[in-house]
């Protein structure tokens, strides 16, 4: 069984270990109906080394996702590229550490919180809904001092 992110601490050399390869889009475990969909494999090139009671993971992660634009609701592609990836995990008593969840979460957290298709970095484009939803703040006119008791005074009288 292919488990590149399962690190056996007993066989980890003092100088660390390099791992590289790719994982299928299913690695992320996202549902087909999710607004985030992986469209490329996760490519990784990592160095794993023990530092006292911690495991230090450094290197590079990259994957392309299809996101839904929050403005026009059209799909666009966004590349997550963590060229200076770094993670530190505390070593427990277990002789094996599974980095799968850490790698998955760190990659997904790097996606934009409010996806906009004009921010896509695979095929740049202008959002078709640009300018259609401008903020038109409607504010109430200031009440002149001579307007009488005013709203707050009327509320105070109810008490």
pLDDT per position as a tens digit, 7-34? 888 888 989 999 999 999 999 998 888 8
**Integer Cα distance of 89 and 67 in angstroms:** 30
Could you tell me how far CA 114 lies from the centroid of its own chain? 10
Report the C-alpha gap between 58 and 45 in whole angstroms: 9
Q: How do residues 64-95 score in pLDDT, each as one tens digit?
A: 999 999 888 999 999 999 999 999 998 888 88
pLDDT number for residue 151: 62
Considering the entire predicted model, what is its pTM? 0.75
Q: With residue 74 as reference, give the H or E element that holds it.
A: none
């Amino acid at each position: 069984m292919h488990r590149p992110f399962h690190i056996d601490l007993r066989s980890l050399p003092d100088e660390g270990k390099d791992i590289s390869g790719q994982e299928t889009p299913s690695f992320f475990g996202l549902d087909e109906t999710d607004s985030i969909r992986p469209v490329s494999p996760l490519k990784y090139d990592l160095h794993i080394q023990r530092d006292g009671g911690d495991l230090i993971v450094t290197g590079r992660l990259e994957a392309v996702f299809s996101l839904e634009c929050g403005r026009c609701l059209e799909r666009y592609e966004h590349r997550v590229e963590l060229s200076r990836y770094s993670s530190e995990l505390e070593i427990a008593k277990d002789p094996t550490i599974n980095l799968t969840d850490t790698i998955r979460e760190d990659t997904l957290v790097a996606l934009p919180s409010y996806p906009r298709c004009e921010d896509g970095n695979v095929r740049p484009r202008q959002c078709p809904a640009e300018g259609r939803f401008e903020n038109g703040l409607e504010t109430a006119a200031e009440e002149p001092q001579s307007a009488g008791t005013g709203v707050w005074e009327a509320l105070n009288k109810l008490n």
